């Protein structure tokens, strides 16, 4: 498979940036659409600004999923014996 030559420069919409800045419902953990290519991408806070993660529009990324929950007893102590 050939490596895509040029990554998307990435840009979030003003609404997305407002949601990330207000930090409601832990929005920074979600993926958001890139305005330029439409791909769902994550972001990172860099020098006070939210920057989209580097991505290549020609590559299909797997969705981020939550891991399986562990069964933890109500006591909060796991018995590993």
* pLDDT tens by residue, 2-46: 555 688 888 899 998 888 888 756 667 788 899 988 888 888 888
Q: Residue 13: its pLDDT value, please?
A: 92
Q: Residue 14: its pLDDT value, please?
A: 92
Q: Is the pLDDT of residue 68 over 80?
A: no
Select the more confidently predicted residue: 50 or 65: 50
Q: Residue 69: its pLDDT value, please?
A: 64
Q: Residue 77: its pLDDT value, please?
A: 62
Cα–Cα distances in angstroms (integers) from residue 35 to residues 17, 19, 45, 74, 75, in the given order: 12, 15, 18, 45, 47
């Amino acid at each position: 498979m050939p490596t895509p030559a040029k990554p998307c420069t990435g840009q979030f919409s003003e609404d997305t940036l407002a949601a990330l800045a207000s930090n409601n419902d832990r929005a920074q953990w979600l993926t958001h659409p890139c305005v330029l290519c439409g791909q769902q991408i994550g972001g990172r806070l860099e020098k006070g600004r939210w920057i989209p993660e580097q991505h290549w529009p020609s590559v299909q990324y797997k969705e981020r999923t939550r891991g399986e929950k562990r069964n933890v007893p109500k006591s909060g102590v796991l018995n590993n014996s």
